[in-house]
Amino acid sequence: MRTGDLGEYVAFDLETTGLDPQIDEILEVAMVRFRRGRPDEEWSSLVKPSQKVPLYVLRLTGITEADLANAPVLEDVLWRIREFIGDSPLVGHNSSFDIAFLGKIVTDIGLRPCHDTLELSRIVIPGLSSYKLSALCENLGIPLVTAHRALDDARASGILFGLLQERARQVLRSASSFIVSVMGDNWASRDLFGHTDAQGTGQVAGESALQPLVGDISDGSRGTTKNLTAAAGKDETQLPETGGGTPSQGLIKAKPRELLPPEGIAARVQAGPTLFSRPNVERAIYSAIMEEAKAGCGAGPEISGEVWDNAILVQAPETADALAGMLAAAIRAAHELKDRVAVACLDARTASKMERVLAGLPGSSGAAVAFLQSPRRRVCLARWRALEILVANRAVGELDLETRQFLAMMANWLSRTKTGSPREIQMFGCGYQVFAELQASWYPGCLEGCAYSRHCFCPKQEEPDVPGVSLMYLEELLSQDLLVRSPFAAVVVLGYQKVLDWADRRADVFEPRQIAELIGPTEGQIFLDLDRRLGDALSRDERVLWFRGRVEMPADIRCLLRDGRQVLGEYIRRRAREDDDVKLRMSLDEIPGHLPIIGRDISAAERFFDAIEKMLNEEPDKVLVVDGRYKSAGLVPVMKRLWVCPGQEIKNGMGVRARKVVLVSPFAQMLAGRRGYEKLLAMSETPKLVAAGTYEEPADILTVFVDGLPKPTDKEAFDQRSASFIVELVGAVRTGCLVLNPFSSNSETLFEKIAPALESRGILVVSADGTGRALEYLEQPDTVVLSRFLAFDEDDFSRARCVIISRLPFGLRRPEDWIRETEVRNAGGDYFRDVTLTGILSRLSQVVDALRSETGRRVLVVLDSRARPAGSSYGSEVFKALTPGEHVVCPPLVALNRIKSWLSVEVEEVVR
C-alpha cells in the first residue's frame, strides 16, 4: 500500500507491563484518528492484565491497581481495536515495540504501513540530543500533558507525524534519493520523501547527496567556482534547527574586536550552589594561565617537553557552575594575550557539560569560542560518494535496520553540516561504528588528487590562528592530525585525576579465535595456533610480555603475529575483489579513497588487522600483555595495546601544542606530591598548587559508620546483612536514597536482595549503571536508586538526601598494574597508597563534596568496615576523607535511630 502524503492515519500507543512481548502484557491501549493533520476521533481503554503489574510500571504511567481492577480484559476490547484501525495506515513512536505486542492479537497488523515517528524524526531532524517523545514535543512545541499515558502519547505522536511530513518534503531531493534507497522498497515512509524511477529498479531519481557541497561530480571533476558559490548561498547548508540552541562546532574564525569583554560573560552566569564559587574559579584559572605568560607572548618562546614539568595544578570542581568560570577565564586570558587558549577534557560527559555551559553564555560561541577536532573526526566526502554508489547498485544488502536508519539520518545531515563533525549528529546504535568507517583516514595525503579535496571538511578547519578559545578532547589535542600552525598560549586540562583511567580505555583488544572464526578454518589456522600457544602460556601461569628494550616477546609468538598480519592482508584484498561486480568496480574507479563496506565481516577483519599492525609497531613506552590472571578471571587469552605510563605520551604532545599547561582537578591538593601519580604522568617535580577557594566545615552532614556487620571479605554474609540494613534504612527515609556500589555485579546482587522487600512496602528500586533518567528518580517519593561509583559526577546526584556506600570501590588488579607498580616503586612511591588508594579517596571526596553543595541536612552511610580506622591499615585515611562534619560509629539499630533523628530535625524546621 502506497500512502503518499497521508491525509488520514491512526496514531496509536500502548502501555505494557514490561518490555518482552513474549511474557509481558498490554496494560493500556489508545488510538487517535487524524484527518488532514488534525485529531478527528479518539478511543482508549485500560486493559486488565493476568499478572501483577511491576511497581516501576505503575509509577511510570501513573496507573493504579484500583484503576485496573474493573478494566476489561484484552479479549473484550479486541473488536474495538480492529474496528478503529480499519484499513488506515498506523503511526507510532518507536512503533516496532508496540507492533510486537499488537501482533499477538491482530495477526495482520504487519501487512499495513506503519510509520515510526522515532525513526522519521531522527532522519528529518538530525542533531538533537534526545529523540524521546517528550523531548521532541518540547522542541517542536507539541502539547504533551501526561507522558507515558497511552492517549496523550498517541495524540502527540500523531501531531508529530504531521510536522515530520512537512519536514520530509523540505529535505533536499538529493538527500531524499539516498534515504529512500538505503531504507528499501518495503519502507512504509518512502513515499513521504521522493518518487522512484519508471523502471522500478529501486534507484531513485535525483543527484548525489554531495551535490549541494561539491556540484556536478559525475565525471570525477573537482566542480566549479560557480557551483561552490551557489551551494554556499543555500539555506540547506545551515545546521538543522534543534531547538536546543547548541552552538555550531568547528574552528570559528574570530577577530580580536569581536571577543566578548570578560565582564559581559561574568554578568550572565549566576553562581550555583558550589563551595568553590564561580568567581573564585575564574580568578584561579585566569591567574594560572597568565602567570609568566605575558613575558613570552608575541615573541614565540621555544617549545619543549619541559612545559609539562612546569605545569600549574589548580584545585577546582567540574560542576557546570565552575566550568562557566573556567571558560570565562580562558576567554579573558585569550583576549588580553591576543593569543589562543585550549580547554581539553578527557571524557564525553565533561565535553557535553561544556557544550551546555557554552550554550548558556549568549554570544560567546560566535565570537571567541570554538570546538576543535582532528580531521579524522570528520566524514570523508569521497567515502560517502562511494557508499552512495554501493547503495544505488544494491551492493550493501546486508545492512541491519539501525545502520540503515543512521545512514539515512546522515544523508540529510550531510547537506546541512558545517564541519562534518560527529558532534553535530546524535550517535545511536551502531552509529559510532558507521561513522568511523566513513571518517577521513589519510589526512593530509588523502587530499592529493581527490575530486572532493576543495570541498572537504578537513581543510576548512585551516583558518588563520586568531585569538580565542578552543574546546576539545585531550586525545585530539595530542593527535598529529590536528591542524594548528602555532602552539597554544596555554592549555587547561580538566580532570587531571582521570588521566590513568582514560589511558586504559585507549587499549586495543582482540581475541585470536574470533579472527579464526571470522575468516574460516583454513586461512584462520594460524590464529588458532596463536590461540593455542597463548593458552599454553596461561595454563602454566606464564606471563607473556613484549616491552621493547626490557622484556622480549617469545620468538614463536612474535612470528605467529607477523604471519597472521600477512594472512589478514591477503584475505582483505581477496574479499574486496570478490565482493564487487565488474560494473560496480568500474564506477568506483573514478572515486579515490578507501571503499567503505559497512556491515560486512570484511570490516571486522580490517579492524583486527589494524589492531595487530598497531601492536607490532608500538613505541618503547607501550606494552603488549598476555597474563595468567586472565584465566583465573574466567576470560579467554587477550592481547592489549596499553599505555602503561601514559604521562609520557601526554607530556610529549603538550610540548608541541602548548607553551603552558594548567591542570584542573577537584582533588588537586590530595594528588599533589604523590610520587606514584607524578611518575605515571611523567612529571619530574611537583606542580605548583593553586586552590580556587577554601572549604568551610559543614554543619549539615552526618556520616554514619555502621559497626557490627560481617567483613566484606565474607561476601555472602556481608551481602545478606547489609541488604537487610539497607531495606530498613530506605524504609525509614523513603525519598532521595542513593546506594553506591563499586561494580555493576554488586548492584545486580543488591537489587535482587532488596527489591522484593522494598516494593512490597511501596518503595521503587531503580538500578542505574550510568547517568540519565534513573537519577531523576532521586527527587521522586518512595524511591531508591542503585548506581556504580563511576557512573555519576557532582551535578548528577547532589539532590540525594541519603547516600549509602555499600562497598569501597577497589578494582580488580589488572595485568599491567605490576609494571606500573615497578615504575612507581623505582620512583620512591607507594603504588597502593599513591595510585590505588588516592583514586578511591578522590572518588569518596567527590561524594562528600556533592552532599556539601546542597543546603539542608544530608546523611552519608558507610557499611564497609575497611573505611574505619581500625578496619584496615589504610582505614584512617579513608575515615578522614569521609568525615568532614559530624560522624558517628554505631551498630545497625542505633544507626537507624540516629539517621531518623538527624533528618527529622530538618522536617520539623520546615514545618515551623
Query: Residue 595 and residue 577: Cα distance in Å, rounded?
Result: 12
The x, y and z cell numbers of residue 150, run together, are 497511552
Question: CA-to-CA distance for 372 and 349, rounded, in angstroms?
Answer: 17
Active site residue 335: no
Angle at CA of residue 233, ends 222 and 140, nearest 5°: 120
**Looking at the DSSP assignment, which residues form a beta bridge with residue 470?**
342, 370
In angstroms, the Cα distances linking 907 to 546, 735, 798, 901 are 62, 13, 19, 10
E strand residue ranges, 532-668: 544-546, 623-626, 639-642, 661-665
Grid coordinates in use for 76? 473484550
What does the block give as the cell for 683? 612529571
Please give the Cα distance from 63 to 46 (Å, whole number).
9
- Residue pair 61/148 in contact (Cβ under 8 Å)? The answer is yes
- Give CA–CA dist 376/443, Å, rounded: 7
- At residue 341's C-alpha, the angle toward residues 337 and 346, to 5°, is 160
Reference 494, options 363, 357, 359; nearest CA is: 357
The one catalytic residue in 93, 115, 148, 455 is: 148
Give the closest residue to 665 by CA, choosing from 305, 370, 312, 352: 312
- For 765, list phi and psi in degrees, rounded to 5: -110, 120
DSSP 509-524: EE-HHHHHHHH-TTTT
C-alpha cell at 82: 480492529
DSSP 412-465: HHHTT-SS--GGGS---TTHHHHHHHHB--STTGGGTT-TTGGG-TTGGG-PPP
Look-up of cell digits 600457544: 533
Grid coordinates representing 569 are 592482508
- CB contact set of 366 (below 8 Å; sequence gap of 6+): 247, 252, 254, 258
Distance of CA 143 to the CA centre of its chain: 29
User: Which of 271, 275, 279, 273 has the alpha carbon at shortest distance from 695?
Assistant: 275
Helices vs. strands in the chain: H and E counts, helices first? 40, 23
For helices 381-392 and 431-438, angle between their N-to-C axes, nearest 10 degrees: 110
- Do 802 and 812 meet the contact criterion of CB atoms below 8 Å apart? no
Q: Looking at residue 704, what DSSP letter applies?
A: E
Rounded to the nearest 10 degrees, the angle between the axes of helix 601-615 and helix 555-579 is: 150
Residues with a catalytic annotation lie at: 148
